[in-house]
Amino acid sequence: MSEGADDDGGAGAAARSRGGSPRGDGFAPSALGTREHWDAVYERELQTFQEYGDTGEIWFGEESMTRLIRWMQKHKIPLDASVLDIGTGNGVFLVELAKFGFSDITGIDYSPSAIQLSGNIIEKEGLSNIKLKVEDFLNPSTKLSGFHICIDKGTFDAISLNPDNAIEKRKQYVKSLSRVLKVKGFFLITSCNWTKEELLNEFSEGFELFEELRTPRFSFGGRSGNSVAALVFQKTELTTLVRFLEEPHPAGEQPMGSCFC
Ligand SMILES: C[S@@+](CC[C@H](N)C(=O)[O-])C[C@H]1O[C@@H](n2cnc3c(N)ncnc32)[C@H](O)[C@@H]1O
């Protein structure tokens, strides 16, 4: 989907279908929230890549990747920082990160076809040190942990549209995020379904807003706004402490939590 474009038929279409949701969260459930949908999408894109070398759709366009990399550059994120792309899709953002010089990059997706497509694209680019895993972020393996940076471009949007208890799935997403991200680590989210205020509410527990990234504005019928929200959150110490207090642990054990410094 191109930024600001309104002809994608993807998550943008879902954003426009707000209202009338029986669930009370403003979204009508959609196939876009299901694994079957994404499997079908990436099976098709995999075939297209094999036949024509076309890498397929970059959600929110090239500019969304530049925006994130520029932010990382501005804040002097070390090139050896561990970066996780949650729901990497075709993995094109991983390629951009590697070309920029990042050396510890992981992409996960619950669609095996997406991971296969990412692998093929990465191989064609001649890049070898990118880690790829088929993982459901709502039930991540224990190995997925300790990241300095987590990126989400359109994945939280997709999860929010799941026809089967999306509210619970969103809560699970926040839990998974606080599990895989280091204390003081950064979470960069780009969304076309949620406004800044709504995202602040979704990620209020254990995360604080670090920066809002500028995105293109639209004007229509006398109203103006942003078609896409791009926010950077930082994980607070509190999440680790709360989790520690909630979990059973041997007497005398102290919370540790390594810092991102
Ligand atoms: C809108 S696409 C975005 C793809 C990519 N991030 C981009 O910017 O081009 C959403 C992606 O999230 C993946 N996804 C959705 N739910 C997921 C989950 N629970 N765990 C892992 N990946 C998921 C889908 O398979 C799809 O690749």
**In terms of Cα–Cα distance, which of 195, 202, 197 is closest to 229?**
195
Give kind and range of the element (H or E) at residue 207.
strand 207-213
Q: Which atom of ligand 1 is nearest to the CA of 159?
A: 16
Residue in 182, 156, 187 with CA at minimum distance from that of residue 171 = 156
Q: What is the mean pLDDT of the chain?
A: 86
What's the CATH fold of domain 31-235?
Rossmann fold (3.40.50)
Which helix (H) or strand (E) segment is 49 a member of? helix 35-52
Residues 6 or more apart from 104 whose CB is under 8 A from it? 80, 81, 82, 83
From 3, 35, 44, 110, give the residue whose CB has the most ligand 1 atoms within 8 Å, as the site to mutate: 110
Query: Is the CB of 13 inside a 6 Å radius of any atom of ligand 1?
Result: no
Judge contact between 207 and 240, C-beta under 8 A. Answer: no
For residue 10, give every residue at least 6 positions away whose Cβ sits within 8 Å of its Cβ, in sequence order, or none.
1, 32, 57, 59, 154
Tell me, in angstroms, the distance from the centre of ligand 1 to residue 137's CA. Answer: 9
Name residue, tokens 């809560």.
171
Q: How many CA atoms lie within 13 A of 2 on its CB side?
A: 3
Indicate which atom in ligand 1 lies nearest the CA of residue 169. 19
pTM: 0.86
Domain ranges within the chain, ordered by starting residue = 31-235
Closest atom of ligand 1 to CA, residue 111: 25
Lowest mean pLDDT among 4-18, 168-182, 183-197, 244-258: 4-18
Give residue 211 CA to ligand 1 midpoint distance, Å.
Answer: 23
For the stretch 101-154, pLDDT in tens is 999 999 999 999 999 999 999 999 999 899 999 999 999 999 999 999 999 999
